[in-house]
């Protein structure tokens, strides 16, 4: 609870709000201020109405002028109006399809994370051909204030193909003061990768810590608010509250807020060539019951995840179309207090109060408008296990899981990409797994712009 209070206090400080304890005089002053604000807004609205009238009059004027302008040289076969026709379906949502397919081959028969109990999407994909992560997206402006988006994905789970809701949310588009609010099920702002769809990733699979700590993506049901602050360098703060049902949460009864997030980040440019972003974020699950390792391991308790992320993009003169180098890394630290029960190992519920960590670092070099190469290394560190969990999935047997990847991809246009990736992973002691992934990612129809 003290953490919540502290958060509330922080928010109060951040917003430069009036002191929490207000006297009668203060209250009266506040009322006065609100009245003044009301009047100011009313007059502003009047002004705006006036502006709109002037604007439409002026647009008509310009349109007439354009029509009257005669080309000075060369004939013109351009129609007088270049407006697009408005059809009956012009209000239909934009539809986008991401077609993803891959072929994976593995040298090791099994792949288990030493010292970690993980969710289904943390595991390596299925061997052979697959169409994992094919996505279907519908989105549209709801009205002048809201935008809605729904993304469903085909995922391969336990040998069968399932339709999974990736994101279904509404968000505001035009709040003042750099504010934005989002509600529904969505990829929370958390570290770097979490808020991105996998089709935008620079590698065919996610790095080990993102898989182990976030099961690929944290997309819970809840509400998130963010604010881009009016500073010269970019700075943004935000946070959200959630049901707490998605990994690393679970078993939420909905009586209380199951989990919450908070983040802050800064970024900017260094000359024309380089842009950068740094962030800190946290995901706190309170009293969750997380099932992992195909429901054979259950963690019951509080789990706090802390992430530091960094990204830097270098392109000569900032011209990303020709060449660029991207450096990116995230550090994860998880603090857990509760009980672990490994039913496979028959441990029963064993008290656990320890932490785990992990990191990855990657770089991608675009050396030609169509070609990129990349390398990535990731590492996990499991916590010390109490005697009761010796020999269970939580026992890392002195091994820190690691993975190294190299990839080459070819981008024909912004709508198509093909990739070859080689991974070597040693997730448990002595079990080296060489993986080759061939992948294509193509986009049909509407496709929203990608964030930095």
Whole-number Cα distances in Å, 329 to 261, 305, 326, 377, 378: 20, 16, 10, 10, 9
117 CB burial (10 A radius; 0-12, 13-18, 19+): buried
Q: Residue 144 Cβ, how far from another protein at the closest point, in Å? A: 7
The stretch among 5-13, 121-129, 372-380, 420-428 that binds another protein (CB under 8 A) is 5-13
Interface mask (CB under 8 A) for another protein, residues 157-186, using x and -?
--------------x-xxxxxx-x------
- The reply to whether 148 sits near another protein by the rule CB under 8 A is no
Nearer to another protein, 6 or 29 (CB): 6
- Tell me how far CA of residue 165 lies from CA of 146, 184, 430, in angstroms: 20, 11, 37
Among 21, 82, 88, 387, interactor with another protein by CB under 8 A:
82
List 412, 429, 432, 434, residue binding another protein (CB under 8 A): 412
* Region of residue 64 (left: phi > 0; alpha: psi -120 to 50; beta: else): alpha
User: Are 114 and 428 contacting, i.e. CB atoms less than 8 angstroms apart?
Assistant: yes
Which of 335, 377, 381, 400 forms a contact with another protein (CB under 8 A)? 335
d(CA 118, CA 401): 13
Residues 110-139: x/- map of binding to another protein (CB under 8 A)? ------------------------------
Q: How far apart are CA 149 and CA 160, in angstroms?
A: 26
Given the rule CB under 8 A, which of 122-130, 243-251, 384-392, 410-418 is the region that contacts another protein? 410-418
Which of residues 160 and 413 has its CB atom nearest to another protein in the complex? 413
Tell whether residue 259 is a contact of another protein (CB under 8 A): no
Tell me the closest approach of the beta carbon of residue 15 to another protein, in angstroms: 7
- Asked if residue 84 binds another protein (CB under 8 A), the reply is yes
**DSSP assignment string, 407-429:** EEEEEEETTEEEEEEEEEEE-ST
Query: Which residue number, 103 or 450, has a Cβ lying nearer to another protein?
Result: 450
Q: In angstroms, give the least distance from the CB of 402 to another protein.
A: 25
Q: Report the residue from 21, 23, 64, 74 that binds another protein according to the rule CB under 8 A.
A: 74
**Is 415 among the residues that bind another protein (CB under 8 A)?**
yes
To which H or E segment does residue 44 belong?
helix 24-68
Torsion of CA 334, 337, 339, 341, to 10 degrees: 0
Site for another protein, residues 30 to 59, rule: CB under 8 A: 51-52, 54-55, 58
Q: How far is residue 26's CA from residue 38's CA, in Å, rounded to a whole number?
A: 18
Rounded to whole angstroms, the Cα distance separating 213 from 410 reads 30
For residue 104, the cross-strand partners are 128, 437
Which one, 331 or 402, has the nearer CB to another protein?
331
Which one of residues 26, 162, 253, 269 is an interface residue with another protein (CB under 8 A)?
269
The residue among 435, 448, 447 whose CA lies nearest residue 109 is: 435
Closer of 3 and 424 to another protein (Cβ)? 3
Of 52 and 373, the one with the shorter C-beta distance to another protein is 52
For position 275 contacting another protein by CB under 8 A, the verdict is yes
Neighbours of 14 (CB within 10 A): 12
């Amino acid at each position: 609870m003290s953490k919540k209070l502290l958060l509330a206090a922080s928010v109060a400080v951040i917003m430069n709000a009036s002191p929490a304890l207000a006297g009668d005089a203060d209250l009266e002053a506040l009322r006065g201020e609100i009245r003044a604000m009301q009047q100011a807004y009313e007059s502003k609205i009047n002004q705006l109405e006036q502006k709109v009238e002037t604007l439409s009059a002026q647009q008509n004027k310009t349109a007439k002028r354009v029509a009257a302008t005669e080309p000075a040289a060369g004939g013109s076969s351009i129609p007088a109006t270049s407006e697009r026709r408005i059809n009956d379906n012009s209000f239909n949502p934009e539809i986008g399809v991401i077609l993803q397919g891959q072929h994976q081959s593995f040298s090791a028969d099994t792949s288990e994370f030493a010292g970690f109990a993980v969710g289904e999407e943390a595991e390596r994909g299925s061997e052979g051909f697959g169409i994992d992560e094919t996505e279907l997206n519908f989105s549209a402006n709801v009205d002048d204030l809201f935008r809605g988006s729904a993304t469903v994905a085909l995922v391969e789970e336990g040998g069968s193909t399932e339709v999974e809701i990736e994101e279904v949310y509404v968000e505001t588009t035009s709040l003042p003061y750099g504010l934005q609010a989002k509600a529904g099920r969505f990829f929370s702002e958390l570290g770097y990768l979490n808020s991105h769809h996998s089709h935008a990733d620079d590698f065919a699979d996610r790095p080990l810590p993102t898989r182990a700590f976030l099961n690929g993506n944290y997309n819970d049901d809840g509400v998130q608010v963010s604010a881009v602050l009016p500073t010269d360098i970019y700075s943004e703060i935000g946070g959200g509250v959630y049901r707490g049902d998605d990994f690393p949460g679970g078993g939420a009864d909905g009586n209380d807020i199951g989990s919450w997030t908070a983040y802050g980040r800064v970024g900017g440019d260094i000359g024309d060539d380089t842009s950068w972003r740094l962030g800190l974020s946290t995901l706190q699950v309170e009293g969750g019951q997380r099932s992992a390792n195909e429901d054979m391991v259950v963690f019951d308790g509080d789990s706090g995840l802390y992430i530091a992320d960094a990204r830097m993009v270098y392109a000569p003169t900032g011209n990303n179309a020709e060449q660029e180098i991207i450096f990116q890394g995230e550090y994860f630290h998880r603090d857990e207090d509760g009980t672990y029960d490994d039913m496979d190992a028959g441990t029963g519920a064993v008290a656990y109060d320890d932490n785990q960590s992990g990191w990855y670092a990657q770089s991608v070099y675009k050396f030609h408008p169509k070609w990129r190469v990349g390398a990535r290394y990731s590492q996990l560190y499991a916590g010390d296990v109490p005697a009761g969990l010796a020999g269970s999935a939580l026992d890392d047997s002195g091994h820190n899981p690691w993975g190294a990847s190299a990839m080459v991809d070819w981008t024909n246009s912004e709508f198509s990409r093909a990739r070859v990736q080689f991974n070597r992973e040693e997730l448990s002691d002595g079990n080296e797994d060489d993986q080759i992934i061939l992948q294509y990612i193509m986009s049909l129809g509407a496709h929203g712009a990608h964030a930095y």
